[in-house]
Amino acid sequence: MTTGDVVIDIDMSAFRAESPLDQPIATFASMIDQRHGVIGRVVSSEKEPAGSNVFYFWAGEDQLSLDIGHIVVGFSEEAAVIGVVDEPRRFSDLRSFLDDFFDRHLEEALDAEPPTRRPEILVFEVHVLRTRHLRQDVVSQRPVVSGPVYFATRQAIDYALGVEEFSGVPIPALLHTNGNAAIDEQGDVVIDERGNTAFQRSPLWLDEEYLLGPEAGHANWTGQSGLATKTSHALFLTSAVFQRMAEHGKSVAALLFNVKGPDLVWLDKSAVPPPELTGAYRKAGFSGLEESDFRAYASIGLEIEPFENLRIFAPFKPGQQPGGGHQSVVNLGSEKYHDRLNTLRTAIGERDRVYPILWSLEPLLYMPHKVFDRGDLDDKMWGLIAEFRDRQGITSLNALSDRIREVLAQLDDSGGSEWQGHHKATILKALNRFNGLTSKFNGLLTDGNVDYGNLPRADSSFTNQEVRVIDIANCNSNVQELLVTSIIDRVWKMAEEQNLGVDKLIVFVDELNKYAPNGGEGSLRNTLVDIAARGRHLNVVLFGAQQFRSKVDAEILGNCGTSFYGRVGDEEIINASYRSLSETTKAELLGLPKGRLLVRHAHFRAPLFGAFPRPPVIPGMAGQRVFNGEQDIPVTISNPADALYRLAKRFPANDTPTQGEVRTLADGLSAESIERICAQTEQRMRSVEGTSAATRVTAWSMIQHGIRQARDAERFRR
């Protein structure tokens, strides 16, 4: 063509191009459910273009299973884009609502149907989770192009969750249900027990190193109380962590505080009753796990296992702590404490796991601010306390009152008013205050010194798979606060000294807004903030729960790598804490049913909904009824001899007996004798742990010996 004119390029064949998405679709065929087929098409408009974080697609009319929370796959030119479905909107070409009114404003009945219905399309918003480029080394953020949308397969979901890149053990936290059918190994659609098509389920995995540190850490649950979702899920997640960590040879333990009734004191009892207890469970009001729960556990790949290595620590009932009288030292090892501990787990044969907490004055001398009110604690008092603690070497209330009386007598004799620089009035005030401590911390504090002997302590280092419950449900608030603060402090120090005893420790604190309120102060709050900030490097993580997220200290929440949301009330959802959630998600949260949670995790670009099965342990109230004989349950519940069996199993050796053997041998022994054998055996086994003596005796041989002795003694009963 000559210049000055339009260049004509007449190669019309270029005008008919093939679809640019054939290549990525073929490459990523394993990520899309082609069996189910195309579920919709990506749309982008001027006003709502597709971006790297969000895109839209309209769904085919027959896609009735497609819903919010499902995970779908769209494509950009060279990548598969995986995202989670959020806001749905139905569009029609109706310009305004009035048009529809006028449409019907003819002499026709309001409900007469027009021969043509306006077409409506259902457009879904999708939040991108991850993009997978054809090239392994490219990370693409390019938005999707118009093209087909499919349901994501399990591989796609795993990819979207970043499982490939996990540096730690993958921990299943929730179960995601997609809109496409589940396919079994033969490639057939799975039908559930009701004859319906089962939907594809895949676990939502959390990276252990982002849940338990060191990359990120801590988990937080928000949700309305009374639905028992937070604790149930926390227990489920703890069980998942325990199992996965065990599989990978890592040690882990958990510390919990029981603040209500028997909630957390039966964690060693399975949710699946043994055959002889099925009736008892039902009578206690717990129908056990359902078919869906069993399937869920199977899908997630977890066993239904209670926490075998459960230890419960409780202070004494008010006024029943040992001490007083001559005793300058309370030797807990030789005390018969079980009847006097402040816990609901009191059945003989079940209480071998319950250990005492008893304090002498000594630790309190190091935390006078915890013990005294602000008004009482002036410089003079501080000085006096320091004097007694550091210079006089006082460690018990008895010693303190003796000393004070001595000093006062001295002053009376000499007529003086000062001793070691401290005024008599201060000393008298101290005496008065300290005398009140036993009732202020009733059940926890004793007059003398305390020797635990071989008994385990609530603040000692942990053993693998141990679940340690501090039962403060029935204590007064002074004792509660003191124990929570001091144990957490101690645990934190152990962590700093690298002396935890396990690779990872989980500390579960419920009612976090009580212990670390927004804008609050105090040493416990400071410790919790410290743990939140540094814990993941020191292998301690906080699992915190509260009803109102907005009322918890922001620093703690900010350091939390994983957050779970259950049903939230409308007063709460308007808070800034929920700002980053879409309107649809917030609306979901307002009406979220039991057993469902929203999870945000470091690896997830968008929050995800999932379900979880009931935890693998019997609920506290039911456990109390079945195992503590609270109600008139006629079935013989547990054979006290089972405590001996459990003990023998805890220290496995060549001669570990069967349950039947133990029951036979111990048949007829009184429960007190059995309890005594348990205590003696356990104390002994613990004292020889790690020494050469441990090889010379087994728990079972000790138990057998004890049974013989006990029978011998029982003939002298009257």
Partner 1 sequence: MRSSVSLEDRLGELQQLEELPSEDERTGTIEWMEALSPFAIPVESIAGPTSIRYFLDGSQKTLPGYFQSAIPILASVTAAAVLERRSPIDLQLVPGMLKLNSSWLVPEKAESPAIGQFVASARTSETAIVDPLDHLANDHAAYRAALDDYIGLEREAMSASRRLRRQGETELLRMWSHDPPADGSWLVYDGALREPVPQTVGLVKSFNRQYITGEYADQLFRMPAGHRTPMFRVNDRRHGGSYAVWYLRFWDAQGRDPRYGLVRVEVTYTSELPPVDLLSAWILAERRPRASNDARWPTLIYPIHYLEQILKRYLAREVRYWPGARAA
Partner 2 sequence: MTPVTIGHMADTHLGYRALTKADPVTGRNQRTVDIENAFAWAIDDMIERQVDLVVHSGDLFHHTRPVYPAIATAIRQFRKLEQAGIPAYIVAGNHDTPRLRVSGSVFGLLESALPGITVCGGYEEALIEDERNDLLLTLVPHGRMTNPEPPAVFPVEGRRNILVVHGLVPNMGLPYQMHEPGEEEISEILLDSAFDYIALGHYHPFSQVRNNAWYAGSTERITWRDEPIAPGYAIATLGDVGAPATVEHIQNPHARPMVTYDFSAGMVAELDGKAIAEHLLQWMELLAEPTAMTRIVMKDIPRPVRRHAEALIRMDADGLVWSVEVTGAGIGSSPFVERGPGMPSANLLELFTAFIAEGQETNQYDESFAASFAEIGRRELEQAQIAIDALVTAEGAE
Backbone angles phi, psi at 199, to 5 degrees: -85, 160
Under the binding rule (CB under 8 A), the answer on residue 326 touching partner 2 is yes
Provide the token pair at 177.
């249900």
Residue 696 interacts, among partner 2, partner 1, none and using kind-specific CB cut-offs from 5 to 8 Å, with partner 2
Contact 174, 165 (CB under 8 A): no
Which residues between 102 and 131 bind partner 1 (CB under 8 A)?
102-104, 106-108, 113-119
- Residue 310 CA, chain-centre distance (Å), reads 15
Q: Nearest 5°: phi and psi at 88?
A: -100, 145
Contact residue for partner 2 among 335, 362, 387, 503 (CB under 8 A): 335
Kindly indicate which of the ranges 12-20, 339-347, 482-490, 696-704 contains the residues binding partner 1, using the contact rule CB under 8 A.
Answer: 12-20
Stretch that binds partner 1, among 1-9, 123-131, 238-246, 291-299 (CB under 8 A): 1-9
Dist. CA 590–CA 575, nearest whole Å: 13
Residues 6+ apart with CB under 8 A from 580: none
Cβ atoms 449, 360 nearer than 8 A: yes
Contact 253, 462 (CB under 8 A): yes
Please choose which of partner 1, partner 2, none residue 95 contacts, taking the beta carbon within 5 to 8 angstroms, the exact cut-off set by kind: partner 1
Rounded least distance, CB 405 to partner 2, Å = 22
Alpha carbon distance 547, 223 (integer Å) = 5
Give CA–CA dist 718/167, Å, rounded.
65
Contact letters for partner 2, residues 652-681 (x by CB under 8 A): --------------------xx--xx-xx-
Q: Which two tokens stand for residue 358?
A: 């008893």
Beta carbon of residue 308, minimum distance to partner 2 (angstroms, whole number): 24
> Residues with Cβ < 8 Å from 210, sequence gap 6 or more?
168, 216, 217, 561, 562, 601, 602, 603
> Alpha helices of 55-172 — where are they, by DSSP H?
97-103, 154-160
Measured from the CB of residue 452, what is the shortest distance to partner 2 in angstroms?
Answer: 9
Stretch that binds partner 2, among 330-338, 380-388, 423-431, 500-508 (CB under 8 A): 330-338
DSSP 269-295: SBSS--GGGHHHHHHTT-----HHHHH
Radius of gyration of the chain (CA): 33
- Is 12 or 576 the residue whose CB approaches partner 1 more closely? 12
Q: What's the min distance (Å) between Cβ of 103 and partner 1?
A: 5
For partner 1, the closer of residues 47 and 374 by Cβ is: 47
Type and span of the H or E element at 180: strand 170-181
Q: State the binding partner of 334 from partner 2, partner 1, none, CB within 5 to 8 A by kind.
A: partner 2
Which is nearer to partner 1, 47 or 391 (by Cβ)? 47
Question: Which C-beta is closer to partner 1: that of 96 or that of 414?
Answer: 96
Overall size of the chain counted in residues: 718
Give dist(CA 330, CA 243) in Å, integer: 39
34 binds partner 2 (CB under 8 A): no
Residue 378: contacted member of partner 2, partner 1, none (CB under 5 to 8 Å, by partner type):
none
Give the Cβ contact number of residue 372 at 10 Å.
21
* CB closer to partner 1, 16 vs 326: 16
Chosen from partner 2, partner 1, none, partner binding at 185 (C-beta under 5 to 8 Å by type) = none
Q: Which of residues 225-284 bind partner 1 (CB under 8 A)?
A: none
Footprint of partner 2 on this chain (CB under 8 A)? 325-327, 329, 331, 333-336, 451, 453-454, 672-673, 676-677, 679-680, 683-684, 687, 693, 696-697, 701-702, 705-706, 709-710, 712-714, 716-718
Site of interaction with partner 1 (CB under 8 A): 1-17, 61, 93-95, 99-100, 102-104, 106-108, 113-119
